[in-house]
Amino acid sequence: MRARLRVKAAFRLKTALLLVCLSAPVMAWAVDDPSEMLPDPKQERQAEAIGAQLRCLVCQNESIEDSSAGLARDLRKVVREHVAKGENSQQVIDWMVARYGNFIRLSPPVTVATLLLWGMPVLALLVGIVSAVMIFRRRTVAPTPLSEAEQARLRELGDGQ
Partner 1 sequence: MSSEQTPADCQNAVTRRRILFGGPLLIGAGLCGAAFWKMLSGMQTGSFNPHDINAPVTGRPVPDFKLPDQTPGTGFATADLKALTRPVLINFFASWCIPCIAEMEALLALQKQLPIWGIAYKDKPENAAGLLKHAGNPYARIGSDRDGRVAIDWGVSGVPESFLIAPGGMIVWHSAAGLDSPEVSDGLKNALKAVGG
- Residues binding partner 1 (CB under 8 A): 57-58, 70-71, 74-75, 78, 97-101, 103-104, 112-113, 116-117, 119-120, 123-124, 126-127, 130-131, 133-134
Give, in order, the Cα–Cα distances in Å from 53 to each of 63, 104, 106, 119: 6, 8, 5, 23
- Whether 56 contacts 103, CB under 8 Å: no
Cβ of residue 26: shortest distance to partner 1, in angstroms?
15
14 or 109: CB nearest partner 1: 109
Could you tell me which of 75, 51, 56, 76 has the C-alpha nearest to residue 67? 56
Cβ of residue 100: shortest distance to partner 1, in angstroms?
5
30 or 64: CB nearest partner 1: 64
Cβ of residue 94: shortest distance to partner 1, in angstroms?
12
Cβ of residue 41: shortest distance to partner 1, in angstroms?
26
Alpha carbons 69 and 57: distance in angstroms, whole number = 9
Q: Residue 78 burial by CB count (10 A; 0-12/13-18/19+): exposed, middle or buried?
A: middle
User: Which residues 6+ apart lie within 8 Å of 151 measured at CB?
Assistant: none
16 or 71: CB nearest partner 1: 71
25 or 119: CB nearest partner 1: 119
